[in-house]
């Protein structure tokens, strides 16, 4: 089962195209890396996957649920998040503690 699925996605920010007609799956089990010359492009992709940046066309799915403005789509999007490089949390927290903290705030159940 795919945890994320990207279908024919176009992402642009301020008229700069970062991805056009991008399609891929990220399986639930595995380790993945996003590689590329541009750190900005990787950040834009990560933000689009969690809904911080809208896609211009195409579709994003989380656990086979289309991320959109339907009730199911909004519920799927609510389970996703993005922590920026310059994190706003206490610098004494571990990554796990920071993610757990954000999950508690957003009322995301732990699986």
The answer to whether the Cα torsion of 89, 94, 99, 102 is positive or negative is negative
DSSP one-letter string for 52-102? SS--SEEEEEETTEE-SSSHHHHHHHHT-----SS--S-TTS-HHHHHHHH
pLDDT greater than 80 at residue 86:
no
- The 10s digit of each residue's pLDDT in 19-74 is 999 999 989 887 788 887 778 888 888 888 888 888 999 999 999 999 988 999 88
Global confidence as pTM: 0.71
pLDDT greater than 90 at residue 6:
yes
């Amino acid at each position: 089962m795919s945890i994320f699925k990207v279908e024919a996605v176009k992402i642009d920010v301020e008229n700069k195209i970062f991805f056009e007609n991008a399609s891929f799956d990220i399986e639930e089990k595995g380790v993945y890396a996003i590689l590329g010359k541009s750190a900005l492009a990787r950040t834009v992709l990560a933000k689009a996957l969690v809904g911080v940046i809208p896609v211009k066309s195409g579709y994003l799915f989380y656990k086979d649920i289309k991320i959109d403005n339907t009730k199911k789509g909004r519920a799927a999007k609510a389970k996703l998040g993005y922590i920026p490089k310059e994190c706003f949390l206490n610098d004494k927290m571990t990554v796990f503690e920071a993610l757990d903290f954000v999950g508690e705030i957003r009322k995301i159940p732990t699986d």
